[in-house]
Amino acid sequence: MSTVSTIIPTHNYGRTIGEALDSIASQKLAPAEVIVVDDGSTDNTPKVVEARKKSLPQIIYMKQERRGASAARNAGAAKATGDFLHFFDADNVLLPDFYLYLANILAENPALGAVCCQRYYRYGESSRRYAADRCWARELPLGKAMEIDNPLDTLTMLVRRSFFEELGGFNEEFPIIQDVEFAWRLLARAPVEVTPERHAVYRLHGGGLSNTDVATHIERLLQAEAAAAADRETYGALAETYLQYWLAVFYEQAGRLDEAEARLERLFAASPEHPAGHLLHVRLMLAQDREASSEAEALHVRLPECACVVATLARVRDSEGKPHEAVGLLERAVELELDDVERERHRLDLGDVLTSSGDWEEAEAVFRDVLNEAEAPDVRARALAGLAFLRAASDEQDAAEELVSAEPDEAIALRATYNLASQLEAAGYGEEAIEVFGRVAASPLAEREGLAAGAHYHLGSLYAAAGDVEQARKFLKTCLRLNPEHQRAAAVLQELLE
């Protein structure tokens, strides 16, 4: 009978590692050993691990100085004796048949290097599970899907130890995407099976990324690009596809649209038909009021059953003043979507189109249904903002404020306030938008939540449109102090200074 070694790298996850270990104790196929590699924790991790030794007597606890997750995984793998390895993070959970299901597949298929299942995810301490779906892994061959996403993440993958050792483990030179880097080399060496069943739960923490988080991701991706450049034979395709795509994504989030476009140019040179890259390109064109219909339509012809492609075409149709076509496409995207939270986001897009086309009663029903179901922070914020906008546009400003303030999570309420202000601005309610953006800019949470720079930019733009140059300059300068690379703020400020 084949055996499994579970390896858990951890750094200050005492609050969650107990639940992770409990999920291993409940496995129908028990791992031969559970190797916890404590990567310099300063919290109660050792006590929590010690307390689980009754239910998991095969726990092996190792402590090392802080060296990072890849080094911790490699240290655990060096001590492992099982035929198959599972690298399991300390804040996630396994369903009881995870090892039994995956180990049977590997045992029955000796040529396979690894097998990977799908996952659920949940938010924070919530017990509710959402189905996650990596659409590109369904729509594309695995090698092409790897240019976009990583269906072979460590949480859901069981890898044959002999292949892991042959590949030399994780590359500790990569500061980010370590699982992608390893999966890339593994896939080049051996076949891997990806199954559609879900046997693990991935925990999501917090809301959106702050400006600092986005900047950190860009910096680390650039470091990974440099590490890949040092071994182009192994990582050339990774550098020119996956890394270019994700650099473009984060440059877009940072408002650095020119740099996002430049990364997409490099991506298309290496992978001209890269679907996620073309979807991002459509978003960039919409953000700059450029014609995007032909690119969106071409994608839809290639991938007519892909929900995110259908939803993107809907955004294009709405921008062209064709709301009825947009509604039909979004309803189709909702039907096609297999990811629970992405389905909620398509429904929010539908509510936005219904709002802009004047179908307010239907829009309110959509927003309210989503709000009653949603736990994802960005989804709740958008649903709240959609409902609040309908109140504000009906001259019920107090009702709009009460609706948002009733949200118990302050970060979600603040993001909803920001979204509401954006909708007011887009609909031409300039004075109301200034008031609401002002509340965001004044909030102590705004900078931590990544909203402060954007709020100041919008305030600067609104005051500039109203002819108040002094106020406009003040807010735009604050925006640039908070985010020196905010290109739109710099452009508007330059216009005011000329």
List, as one string, the DSSP characters of 261-321: HHHHHHHHHH-TT-HHHHHHHHHHHHHTT---HHHHHHHHHH-TT-HHHHHHHHHHHHHTT
- Of these ranges, 213-227, 302-316, 477-491, the one predicted with the greatest mean pLDDT is 302-316
Q: Which of 189, 204, 219 is the last residue of a domain?
A: 204
In a domain, 355, yes or no: no
pLDDT of residue 412: 95
Q: Which of 290, 311, 344 is the last residue of a domain?
A: 290
Backbone angles phi, psi at 66, to 5 degrees: -60, 115
pTM here is: 0.92
**Percent of the chain beyond pLDDT 70?**
99
| Paired sense of beta strands 4-10 and 84-87, if any | parallel
SS3 labels along 351-402: HHHHHHCCCHHHHHHHHHHHHHHCCCHHHHHHHHHHHHHHHHHCCCHHHHHH
pLDDT of residue 201: 96
Domain that holds residue 149: 4-204
One-letter identity of residue 448: R
Distance of CA 464 to the CA centre of its chain: 34
Assign 208 a pLDDT band (cuts: 50, 70, 90): low
CATH number for 405: 1.25.40.10
pLDDT of residue 54: 94
471 and 396 within one domain: yes
In a domain, 249, yes or no: yes
Assign 15 a pLDDT band (cuts: 50, 70, 90): very high
pLDDT in tens, 417-447: 999 999 999 999 999 999 999 999 999 999 9
Residue 498 has pLDDT above 80, yes or no: no
pLDDT of residue 483: 87
For 58-71, give one letter per residue: b (16+ CB within 10 A) or e.
ebbebeeeebbbbb
d(CA 37, CA 66): 11
In a domain, 350, yes or no: no
What 3-state class would DSSP assign to 199? strand
Q: Which of 231, 263, 290 is the last residue of a domain?
A: 290
CA torsion sign, 252 to 257 to 262 to 266?
A: positive
**Is 75:12 a contact under the CB 8 Å cutoff?**
no
d(CA 223, CA 228): 9
pLDDT in tens, 179-200: 999 999 999 999 999 999 999 9
168 and 235 within one domain: no
pLDDT of residue 213: 84
What's the domain count of the chain?
3
Residue 127 has pLDDT above 90, yes or no: no
36 and 51 within one domain: yes
pLDDT in tens, 346-368: 999 999 999 999 999 999 999 99
Residue 212 has pLDDT above 90, yes or no: no
